[in-house]
Amino acid sequence: MSVSEPTSMSSAVATRYAKAIFGLAKDEGGMSLLETDLQSLENILEVSEDFRTLISSPMYSRAQQEAAILEISKKIRISDMMRNALCLVCSKRRLYILPQLIDEISAYIAEDKGEITVSVTSARELSEDQNRNLVKTLKNTIGKEIKIKATIDRNLIGGLIVKVGSKMIDSSIRSKLENLQNIMKEVR
């Protein structure tokens, strides 16, 4: 058995659920509501260790996960459609796919809008001008509307790591120093 099989299986499951949820939202005219739901779920995933544990721990029963999802849905005002979809995912013991599910649905939404989401990791927050110039450059290169998903990693020292789909451009100072270190090792 390949080590990547569980991940690819999770990805395939997330893709199937994402396609169904996206299709349902599109058919019902609930795209903006779906985007709001995704943002709320991303926010809670980011800030709540308890929520991340809930979705990933096999120690919680289906009933416990579903009860928690129902309660959380009320608190963060998730739509009925998304709440029902999450309860279905709970009933199948697949709540662990939630981060992948959010990413997959976001990709469907972006594709529908003619956008592409680009992950940008930088050592510090980009200024408005830097962000605008990056979006302009990427739009000219890729030919689609660009949506930036920014992440800060102080260990980069400087520069950027830009991921577009399966392509990655690493112009970080950390990467350049590592390359230089490898070259120096070869010289010895």
* Other Cβ atoms closer than 10 A to 76: 14
Q: What are phi and psi of 161, to 5 degrees?
A: -120, 120
* Other Cβ atoms closer than 10 A to 141: 10
Domain count, the chain: 2
Let me know whether 15 and 60 are in one domain: yes
Let me know whether 120 and 102 are in one domain: no
Tokens encoding 91 = 């009933």
Let me know whether 34 and 84 are in one domain: yes
Sheet with 167-170, strands from edge to edge, namely 145-152, 115-122, 160-164, 167-170
Task: Indicate if the pLDDT at residue 3 is higher than 60.
Answer: no
Q: Which domain holds residue 156?
A: 114-187
Q: Supply the pLDDT for residue 165.
A: 74
Whole-structure pTM value: 0.70
pLDDT in tens, 9-61: 778 899 999 999 999 999 998 999 999 999 999 999 999 999 999 999 999 99
Distance CA 92, CA 141 (A): 42
Domain boundary among 62, 77, 110: 110
Domain boundary among 110, 145, 176: 110
Tokens encoding 90 = 């709970």
Let me know whether 106 and 127 are in one domain: no
Let me know whether 48 and 67 are in one domain: yes
Q: Supply the pLDDT for residue 8.
A: 62
Let me know whether 39 and 94 are in one domain: yes
Mean of all residue pLDDT scores within the chain: 88
Q: What angle do CA 161, 103, 145 make, to 5 degrees?
A: 65
Query: CATH number of the domain that 29 lies in?
Result: 1.10.520.20
Let me know whether 96 and 136 are in one domain: no
Q: For residue 26, give the amino acid letter.
A: K
Distance CA 116, CA 143 (A): 10
* Other Cβ atoms closer than 10 A to 87: 18
Beta bridge partners of 149: 119
